[in-house]
Amino acid sequence: MDRERIEARLAVVEERIARAAERVGRDPGAVELLPVTKGHPVAAIEVARALGLARVGENRVGEAGSKQTELGGRAGLMWHMIGHLQRNKARPALAWFDVIESVDSLRLARTLDRLAGDDGHDPVEVLVQVNTSGEEAKAGFERGDALDGVRQVCGLQGLRVAGLMTMAPFTDDATVLRSTFRRVRELSERCADAIPGYEGRVLSMGMSNDFEIAIEEGSTRVRLGTALWGER
């Protein structure tokens, strides 16, 4: 893993984040970069840490566990689960991850809540995944059910709902992307007004192909893989 090359990519990404934030009058410091290390070797995580990045995102429970075993622990980083989480892998996910960004159903939320209680775990930081684009292939609470879904997740004592996460359609159509992200931001605002216990401080939306639009529409965390590491 070429640290100098990654450092140069990181500088470009940070500049793009800053410019996107400034275009809409936001503080660039309010946007957090989550490097996505799925499918990349442990060396990528070591480079991320050396460059001062505080978090990493992984899609698979087993891959995260193997990497932490190789690293001898979490390496001083916060680990985020950003992929679909099967309920039968919820317990190891609680062992390997600090944040579950992909709580996409009440069944999963209730499983995490029960396991956290059984294991004496501190309340788990989660994001509720929403699907405001209407794509059948996308996981998450559907637009019409999302407010009630977030309310029910917030009622679970073992979870702490920091905000929302979404995955936009993979498209170059800026109008589609913008409307998708805007709907998530507006949903978060409604949740903050209507739901006790909803923190609403995190909007995890935007990936390598669309993160600047996501920032312009209110994202506070962008999940970037290819933009940092290049193609796998």
Give the CATH number for residue 16.
3.20.20.10
Name which residue leads in pLDDT, 51 or 133.
Answer: 51
Categorize the per-residue pLDDT at 232 as very low, low, confident or very high, splitting at 50, 70 and 90.
low
Interacting residues of 151 by C-beta distance below 8 A, sequence separation 6+: 191, 194, 195
**What are 126's strand-pairing partners?**
100, 161
Could you tell me the maximum CA-CA distance found in the chain, to the nearest angstrom? 48
Mean pLDDT within 120-134: 90
Amino acid at 220: T
d(CA 227, CA 212): 12
CB 127 within 8 A of CB 81: no
How many domains does the chain contain in total?
1
Alpha carbon distance, N-terminus to C-terminus of the chain: 12
Q: Residue 185: name the closest of 158, 146, 148 by CA.
A: 146
For residue 74, the model assigns a pLDDT of 94
Amino acid at 18: A
Give the three-state DSSP class for 64.
helix
Mean pLDDT within 145-158: 96
CB 92 within 8 A of CB 127: no
The pair of structure tokens assigned to 143 is: 């637009």
Average pLDDT, the chain: 95
- The parent domain of residue 120 ranges over 3-229
What are the backbone dihedrals phi and psi of residue 187, each rounded to the nearest 5 degrees, phi first? Answer: -65, -45
CB 199 within 8 A of CB 161: yes
Amino acid at 49: R
Query: With 0-12 CB in 10 A as exposed, 13-18 as middle and 19+ as buried, what is 87?
Result: middle
**What are 164's strand-pairing partners?**
128, 203
pLDDT greater than 90 at residue 144 = no
For residue 213, the model assigns a pLDDT of 98
Q: How far is CA 226 from the centre of its chain?
A: 16
Question: What predicted TM-score, i.e. pTM, was given to this entire model?
Answer: 0.95
d(CA 184, CA 187): 5
